[in-house]
């Protein structure tokens, strides 16, 4: 090997200078952005579950969320209920919700509101109040009266 060959070899064996790329960490999302994304995700899954809700409604006829605890006639006073109406003259949905107005352990009034979303026929909204009483806290509720409108 000659001197010129060894110089060529040393020059060619030198490595080119390496350039390092510094990558900045990804920008953190703000709290508002995270909340917005979470809300969008909830809305998206709600839209995706609508066919399931309508399928259950078509098979069962209603979807009911009942009151818990000591409430008389739970089937007549649901916390929230959606009922499918398929009559000859009326078709649509009935929405029923009720709230408990408890005066004390012996007196109770239940405020019930009924609304309609009909695509055939028409229905007027209704609101009524059913009041109950009992002699002792362990006794069954006894119906007193039903009045139109909100409970006093």
Question: pLDDT per residue over 74-83, tens digit each?
Answer: 888 899 999 9
Examine residue 101 and state whether it is found in any structural domain, yes or no.
yes
Examine residue 16 and state whether it is found in any structural domain, yes or no.
no
This prediction's pTM? 0.68
Q: Are 110 and 129 in contact (CB under 8 A)?
A: yes
Examine residue 105 and state whether it is found in any structural domain, yes or no.
yes
Residue 26 pLDDT grade (very low, low, confident, very high; cuts 50, 70, 90): confident
98 lies in which domain range?
54-148
Instruction: Give me the number of domains the chain comprises.
Output: 1
Examine residue 92 and state whether it is found in any structural domain, yes or no.
yes
């Amino acid at each position: 090997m000659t001197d010129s060959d060894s110089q060529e070899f040393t020059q060619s064996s030198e490595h080119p200078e390496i350039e390092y790329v510094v990558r900045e960490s990804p920008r953190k999302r703000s709290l508002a952005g995270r909340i917005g994304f979470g809300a969008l995700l909830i809305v998206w899954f709600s839209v995706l579950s609508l066919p399931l809700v309508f399928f259950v409604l078509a098979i069962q006829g209603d979807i009911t969320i009942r009151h818990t605890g000591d409430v008389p006639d739970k089937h007549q006073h649901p916390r929230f209920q959606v009922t499918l109406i398929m009559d000859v003259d009326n078709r649509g949905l009935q929405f029923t919700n009720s709230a408990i107005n408890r005066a004390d352990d012996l007196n109770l009034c239940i405020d019930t509101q009924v609304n309609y979303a009909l695509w055939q026929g028409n229905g007027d909204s209704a609101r009524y109040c059913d009041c109950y009483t009992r002699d002792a806290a362990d006794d069954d509720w006894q119906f007193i009266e039903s009045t139109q409108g909100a409970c006093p």
